[in-house]
Structure 1
Amino acid sequence: MNVLPKCLALIAPVVAACLPLVARADDDAGIRGIVDAAIRPVIQQYDVPGMAVAVIVDGRPHFYSYGVASRQDQTPVSENTLFELGSVSKTFTATLALYAQETGALSLGDHPGRYMPALAGFPVDRASLLELGTYSAGGLPLQFPDAVSDDAQMIDYFRQWQPDAEPGVLRRYSNPSIGLLGHVTAIALKSNFADAVESRLFPALGLNRSYVRVPQGAMARYAWGYDKTNKAIRVNPGMFDAEAYGIKSSAADMARFVQANIDPAGLEGPMRRAVEGSHTGYFRIGGMVQGLGWEQYPYPVSLQRLQAGNSPEVSMKPNPAVKLTPPRTPSGATLFNKTGATNGFGAYVAFVPEERIGIVMLANRNFPIPARIDAAHAILSRLAPGTKPR
């Protein structure tokens, strides 16, 4: 039995603890030492073919690439390699909806039947667009049934759906829920979702190499994902795939997105306000606050609390939702994060605007979320150690 990966996993925290705290954005060697100590053991333990990591320190990005984007071609990973973001895509869906609100195309207090008359009067129409975007519509499931594969079947599904609770009292993480928000947003913008994201959202955020639909000219940069059997795979289409888990991006572009969230001042008015709006919290779910797209924690945050908020208990089960009245705009240092995965890819993004730090982890294997949180927490806590975690 090869015990090296397990040994490395045990040794890594000790190694990281001995590294100096990084206070300067120009100390690339020091930052690399911290990132290597946290990331290399994870890559070995979970046989991750490749990973692109971006670390933002004092608002400046640093890029670290590991392994290959394709085992067959041995193409090395770089900060420009395209990875599937999985559910990190939901942060873009939320930002687009907020942008639509800022431009007057919709209000998040509206109900879906206003834009989709076929849903008017049905139970799903009791939920507001905000409640759909925060998974609090009343218990929509994680996924659509396999039989739902076109718009007519989607509408029929929502017309037949019966809630488990009134809107705003139960949080159940759901692709159909935030997917419906994205679908309605595109209707309000008189577009389809992919066009709205690629022609409006990405350019306004300065993201030049992110896609819903990867063009032929960018396919050479699109990594292959690897499943549990090491088969090379990419995401399959599905109902609301673009809205819920379908964006492909690079560490370079995701670092720009994190920078825009850390300091939105450089964005045009409606997009700046949309990004700022994505930092508002609406429901308390245990030790986590649910916003539109991003999930929030007071910073510094303990590893235990961060793991709990990203655990299967939160992502796979219904949880009571305590409505924040009024909605909460962070008053102190706050960590925002989102995990994402497809069958062949795993992602994690986190940032703390007040500390001007952030991290992007993109891998072409869906390795365990706890390992992602461990590594990211170890890195961030050495970039801005702060005080006692809350």
Structure 2
Amino acid sequence: MSRLTILAACLALSSTGVCLAQARTDQQIEASVDAAIRPIMQSQGVPGIAVAVTVDGKAHYFNYGVASKESGEKVTKNTLFEIGSLSKTFTATLLAYAQATGKLSLNDKASQVLPALKGSALDNISVVQLATYTAGGLPLQFPQAADSAGKMLGYFQQWKPLYAPGTRRQYSNPSIGLSGYLAAHSLGVPFEQAMEKTLLPKLGLKHTFIHVPQDQMELYAQGYDKADKPVRVSPGALDAEAYGVKTSAADLLTFVQANMQPAALDAPVQHAIAATHAGYYTVGDMTQGLGWERYAYPITLDKLLAGNSTPMAMEAHPVQWLNPPQAEPKDVLLNKTGSTGGFGAYAAYVPSREIGVVIMANKNYPIPERVKAAHQILQSLTE
């Protein structure tokens, strides 16, 4: 089909909002990705980056640099990267799946789901408050003395809220991590098993792991810290639930595509995805979903940067709850960043335009650089 034919068809179907993206050639998409990514490789000293773009259901892969400076192995669409807090979108989907299958309700109090928490502040904090960082001031990270699987429950049993539950957003690994722990408990299996044996296969993901199997280790990229020293994620309390996923560009894009077009999935998974996209409250221009963070689209770069800023992650923000939760509107962008000591990731997509991008790197470079690159790529798909 010629480009003129495509453009003519798009004029007839312009109300769908995806035609301009459809009309772009593979070469144009590659040029747009190159223009966004190559400057980051140079300015930030990133050894390797994998980018995957989806346009109207079609996947495009672009790979840069090496998965390991020591071996010189090239990045491919199957290279495994740590995705840090982007793992929270998987955890949230598992939580919503537990609700969709009748194992718990997001409105349950945490101690209803896990009796070991009875008599603590978690008697008065709901699962949805944990999943949306509004439990009352749980910190970004566990205190060092509590940062292990054996000490995690003891920490929650003695923890005291700083704020009334549901009044402020305080971004927190312990908060959403505990919601994932509760989801797995309600399903009757450990979190890793619930994820790797139940949810991930239902999403069609075959190269996404909590613990990378030995026969896949050769695909696991080496991460590098800010001093360019080799590093990989270390164990910690609720690490699997909050920041433990390792995946490839191909699988992460499949996850994004499933979020945009879930109709082929099992009904409980469809319901789960819808629940993760619902809006639970607003903070500024951002509407908080489960795991995902949502914005009206089109969105300016400044607003997207503000929503992914250090103050948004590090400070407590008053929230405006949406009662009932707001179903996903037609024109929205959903996104999430993720980092570990040696990796940096970002995913953003616009379901109504059928466009999305994932960017994965084996260095923890600044979040604003990721957001700018993704925004630039998405903009190029709609121009």
Q: Same fold (TM over 0.5)?
A: yes
Q: Which residue number corresponds to residue 334 of structure 2?
A: 336
What does 1:217-236 correspond to in 2, within 5 Å? 217-236=215-234
3-state DSSP class of the match of 2:146? coil
Cα distance in 2 for residues equivalent to 1:65 and 1:289: 32
3-state DSSP class of the match of 1:69? coil
Q: Deviation per CA, 1:1-31, whole angstroms, max 9, x where unpaired?
A: xxxxxxxxxxxxxxxxxxxx96326711110
Aligned equivalent of 2:346, options 345, 348, 354? 348
Cα gap change, 1:140/1:109 in structure 2, threshold over 3 Å: closer, same or farther? Answer: same
Cα distance in 1 for residues equivalent to 2:338 and 2:140: 13
Say whether the 8 Å CA contact 1:22–1:30 is kept in structure 2.
Answer: no
Q: Which residue number corresponds to residue 67 of structure 1?
A: 65
Cα distance in 2 for residues equivalent to 1:123 and 1:377: 40
Q: What amino acid is aligned across from residue 195 of structure 1 in structure 2?
A: Q
Q: Which residue number corresponds to residue 302 of structure 2?
A: 304
Alignment partner of 1:99 is 2:94: no
Q: Which residue number corresponds to residue 129 of structure 1?
A: 127
Alignment partner of 1:42 is 2:44: no
Q: Deviation per CA, 1:237-286, whole angstroms, max 9, x where unpaired?
A: 10000000000000000010011011100101111111121110101011
Larger displacement relative to structure 2 (47-56 or 120-129) = 120-129
Q: Which residue number corresponds to residue 175 of structure 1?
A: 173
Q: Deviation per CA, 1:56-102, whole angstroms, max 9, x where unpaired?
A: 11121100000000000000000000000100000000000000111
Cα distance in 1 for residues equivalent to 2:23 and 2:259: 18
Cα distance in 1 for residues equivalent to 2:183 and 2:58: 32
Say whether the 8 Å CA contact 2:149–2:236 is kept in structure 1.
Answer: no
3-state DSSP class of the match of 2:136? coil
What does 1:138-287 correspond to in 2, within 5 Å? 138-287=136-285
Cα distance in 2 for residues equivalent to 1:329 and 1:22: 27
Say whether the 8 Å CA contact 1:53–1:362 is kept in structure 2.
Answer: yes
Q: Deviation per CA, 1:294-332, whole angstroms, max 9, x where unpaired?
A: 000000000000000000110111111111122111223
Say whether the 8 Å CA contact 2:24–2:381 is kept in structure 1.
Answer: no
Cα distance in 2 for residues equivalent to 1:151 and 1:57: 41
Larger displacement relative to structure 2 (222-231 or 106-115) = 106-115
Say whether the 8 Å CA contact 1:119–1:125 is kept in structure 2.
Answer: yes
Structure 2 gaps of 5+ residues are 1-18
Say whether the 8 Å CA contact 1:25–1:60 is kept in structure 2.
Answer: no
Cα distance in 2 for residues equivalent to 1:253 and 1:150: 29
Cα distance in 2 for residues equivalent to 1:155 and 1:143: 15
Q: Which residue number corresponds to residue 317 of structure 1?
A: 315
Percentage identity across paired residues of the two chains: 52
Cα gap change, 1:63/1:22 in structure 2, threshold over 3 Å: closer, same or farther? Answer: farther
What's the CA shift for 1:380?
Answer: 0.3
TM-score by length of 2: 0.93
Cα distance in 2 for residues equivalent to 1:150 and 1:143: 12
Q: What amino acid is aligned across from residue 260 of structure 2 in structure 1?
A: I
Q: Which residue number corresponds to residue 15 of structure 2?
A: none
Q: Deviation per CA, 1:200-221, whole angstroms, max 9, x where unpaired?
A: 0110000001100100000000
Structure 1 gaps of 5+ residues are 1-20, 386-390
Count, aligned residues: 365
Cα distance in 2 for residues equivalent to 1:109 and 1:25: 45
Say whether the 8 Å CA contact 1:22–1:31 is kept in structure 2.
Answer: no
Say whether the 8 Å CA contact 2:49–2:63 is kept in structure 1.
Answer: yes
Q: What amino acid is aligned across from residue 241 of structure 1 in structure 2?
A: D
Say whether the 8 Å CA contact 2:281–2:321 is kept in structure 1.
Answer: yes
Cα distance in 2 for residues equivalent to 1:238 and 1:97: 20
TM-score by length of 1: 0.92
Cα distance in 2 for residues equivalent to 1:125 and 1:193: 22
Q: Which residue number corresponds to residue 288 of structure 2?
A: 290
Cα distance in 1 for residues equivalent to 2:382 and 2:326: 24
Aligned equivalent of 2:77, options 60, 76, 79? 79
Cα distance in 2 for residues equivalent to 1:169 and 1:145: 23
Q: What amino acid is aligned across from residue 77 of structure 1 in structure 2?
A: V
Cα distance in 2 for residues equivalent to 1:118 and 1:124: 10
What's the CA shift for 1:152?
Answer: 4.5
Root mean square deviation of aligned Cα: 1.2
Q: Which runs of 4+ in 1 moved over 3 A?
A: 149-152
